Amino acid sequence: MAYQISGGCPACGHQLMIAKYRCPNCQTEVSGQFASCRFCQLDAQTQHFILVFLAHRGNIKLVEKELGISYPTVRKCLQGAIDALHLHAAPDKSSVNAEEKMEILDRLEKGKIDYHTALSLLESGE
């Protein structure tokens, strides 16, 4: 049985280094210093979120339903995964900051504004 270690060292939190690989078929072993993949370094909760998000092809409503969380929480989890993977997109040319965008989207979700108003606010930055 293979154990899965996600995140960092259970004792100090630093990134783990893989020291040995073994083929379960022929028992060949390779020793050295091997870095784990970026996804393997994520905690189990973030890995699960990413799997659910990808399984639903980024459909936030389906992610909300499966995980039993709200739209803002899905967005927060997504941003957490992006940050943990050190993914940095090109700078947003919109004058609306992330907090303002979340507020506009929250107002849209609650029915306080319609789609066209939300789009206009997101594009204009007002």
Rounded to whole angstroms, the Cα distance separating 65 from 59 reads: 10
**What does the pLDDT look like over 85-107, one tens digit per residue?**
888 766 656 567 888 888 888 98
Is there a single domain that holds both residue 15 and residue 57? no
Is there a single domain that holds both residue 37 and residue 56? no
* Average pLDDT, rounded, for the chain: 85
Closest of 68, 39, 43, 41 to residue 54, by C-alpha = 39
Is there a single domain that holds both residue 70 and residue 35? no
Do residues 42 and 7 make contact, with C-beta atoms less than 8 angstroms apart? yes
In terms of pTM, does the model score above 0.85?
Answer: no
User: How many domains does the chain contain in total?
Assistant: 2
Is there a single domain that holds both residue 49 and residue 89? yes
Domain that holds residue 19: 1-41
Looking at 67-71, 88-92, 122-126, which range is the least confident one? Answer: 88-92
Which are the contacts of 123, defined by CB distance < 8 A and separation ≥ 6? 94
Closest of 34, 64, 27, 38 to residue 49, by C-alpha = 64
Helix (H, G, I), strand (E, B) or coil at 67: helix
Residue of higher predicted confidence among 95 and 116: 116
Is there a single domain that holds both residue 96 and residue 63? yes
pLDDT at 18: 83
Is there a single domain that holds both residue 112 and residue 56? yes
pLDDT at 126: 54
Is there a single domain that holds both residue 17 and residue 65? no
Residue of higher predicted confidence among 16 and 92: 16
Is there a single domain that holds both residue 61 and residue 4? no
Do residues 107 and 113 make contact, with C-beta atoms less than 8 angstroms apart? yes
